[in-house]
Structure 1
Amino acid sequence: MSGYVLKTAELPVELPVDWRAHGLEPDEHVCDDLGWTVMPVTCELDLAVAEQFVAEDRSFALLEGGVPGTTYMVSARVRTTSRRTLTRSYVIRIAEPVSRAA
């Protein structure tokens, strides 16, 4: 598990994974981006990966949306030059809207 993130439904959040710090062996590199997954996905308002890419042994995802009060598991996967598959995950909770007194 890489971490826990509290996100609002309105604002996007970028998640990075530095594979050099999370699983790559010396002289090993990322050779294939296996993508990001979000669970659960039950409706069009759920958390979604808007963009994803890998650059210099780092993965990035831009997440948008989410249903307030819902907790999601977001995972990134890559294949390495040693033919290993690495996975890192985040728990993302979508914050409830703050009510403001009139």
Structure 2
Amino acid sequence: MEVIAERRYQVRGMADLVLRIGKPEPFPDGRNFLCPYEIDGPLTQRRSHFGGVDAVQALLNAVGAATIDLELCEEVVQGLLSLHGQSGELGLPDPLALTRLRSAGTIG
């Protein structure tokens, strides 16, 4: 995986948890893209990817999927994760926020 972005979270009393987002790449069929990501923490290790019709959609989908995976990781569940001193803060967009804004008629 060619890493294009990385975020380091502090885990109380343990090694840091690191989120890495990879460069979106075309599927072998050449019609769609996938974007890999990984979570490496003291209690959680996850490697996955998410797809999209183009590189931007794959990237945004991967960030959304990574956000959900982080919210469910053991470091968060146990209340051990922090970002820049903010306990429980992921600093990532809410994957459902756009859907809620559209439903509320705030955006088109």
The answer to which structure, 1 or 2, has the higher relative contact order (CA under 8 A, 6+ apart) is 1
Task: Select the structure that is richer in strand.
Answer: 1
Q: TM-score, normalised by structure 1?
A: 0.27
Q: TM-score, normalised by structure 2?
A: 0.26
Task: Select the structure that is richer in helix.
Answer: 2
